[in-house]
């Protein structure tokens, strides 16, 4: 009799945890993570992936500059035009002019004369003016040259303006890079002609 009663008790205790049909099994089936109405899983939406940057492809244009030049300052001009200032010619001379260049036709004309011939300068467009920082002619320069940004209309040779020299850089600087972010323009890197310059202006 005792053996039979003990077997019944053990069987009753074993049911809830064994096949999941007892009270414990029902709680597990309806709890969080189950497929029932009260315990259905919620899937979080995946964050949208940022769109990749547009592809850029370089190609050669059909026209060439009238004179081979390197290490010039190139700034955005009106429309599809570019402003090319200074630079180093094949003969080793620095350029003393700023030219408006059409990127579609290759036509080019003088829009400003520089105070001093330079190459390896940097530049920016500030308040409707093109600004040339430092550079090198016969030596590294601290001069800041400014001229009005061209409108795109041809300028007669007799009316080409001359750039003006504004406040100089704290020290001569050649080979710098200029970056404009918002209303601030930064002159970064370069050297005084001998040693690299660590100051960001």
Per-residue model confidence as pLDDT tens digits over 50-66: 888 888 899 898 999 99
Using alpha carbons, list the distances in angstroms from residue 120 to 4, 52, 86, 95, 183. 103, 34, 8, 11, 24
Mean predicted confidence (pLDDT) in 33-46: 63
Mean predicted confidence (pLDDT) in 135-163: 90
Of 167, 57, 163, the residue nearest 113 (C-alpha): 163
Of 130, 131, 122, 142, the residue nearest 187 (C-alpha): 122
Q: Residue 38 in contact with residue 30, Cβ under 8 Å?
A: yes
137-149 pLDDT, tens digit per residue, is: 999 999 999 999 9
Pairing verdict, β 164-166 and 177-181: unpaired
Mean confidence (pLDDT) of the chain: 83
Question: Is the model's pLDDT at 42 over the cut of 80?
Answer: no
Give 165: exposed, middle or buried? Use CB within 10 Å, 0-12, 13-18, 19+: middle
53-111 pLDDT, tens digit per residue, is: 888 899 898 999 999 999 999 999 999 999 999 999 999 999 999 999 999 999 999 99
Of 52, 48, 86, 87, the residue nearest 70 (C-alpha): 87
Contact partners, residue 195, CB within 8 Å, separation at least 6:
none
- Determine the Cα–Cα distance for residues 100 and 83; give it in Å rounded to an integer: 5
Q: What is the pTM of this model?
A: 0.71
Q: Residue 92 in contact with residue 109, Cβ under 8 Å?
A: no
């Amino acid at each position: 009799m005792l053996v039979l009663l003990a077997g019944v008790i053990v069987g009753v205790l074993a049911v809830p945890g064994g096949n999941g049909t007892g009270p414990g099994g029902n709680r597990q089936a309806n709890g969080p993570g189950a497929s029932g109405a009260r315990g259905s899983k919620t899937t979080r939406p995946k964050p949208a992936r940022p769109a990749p940057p547009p592809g850029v492809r370089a190609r050669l244009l059909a026209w060439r500059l009238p004179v081979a030049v390197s290490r010039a300052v190139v700034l955005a001009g009106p429309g599809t035009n570019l402003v090319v200032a200074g630079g180093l010619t094949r003969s080793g001379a620095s350029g003393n002019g700023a030219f408006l260049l059409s990127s579609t036709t290759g036509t080019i004309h003088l829009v400003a004369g520089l105070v001093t011939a330079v190459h390896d300068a940097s530049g920016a467009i500030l308040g409707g003016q093109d600004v040339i920082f430092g550079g090198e002619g016969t030596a590294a320069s601290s001069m800041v040259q400014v001229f009005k940004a061209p409108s795109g209309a041809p300028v007669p040779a007799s009316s080409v303006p001359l750039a003006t020299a504004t406040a100089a850089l704290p020290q001569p600087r050649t080979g710098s890079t200029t970056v404009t972010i918002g209303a601030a323009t930064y002159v970064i890197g370069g050297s005084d002609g001998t040693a690299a310059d660590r100051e960001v202006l």
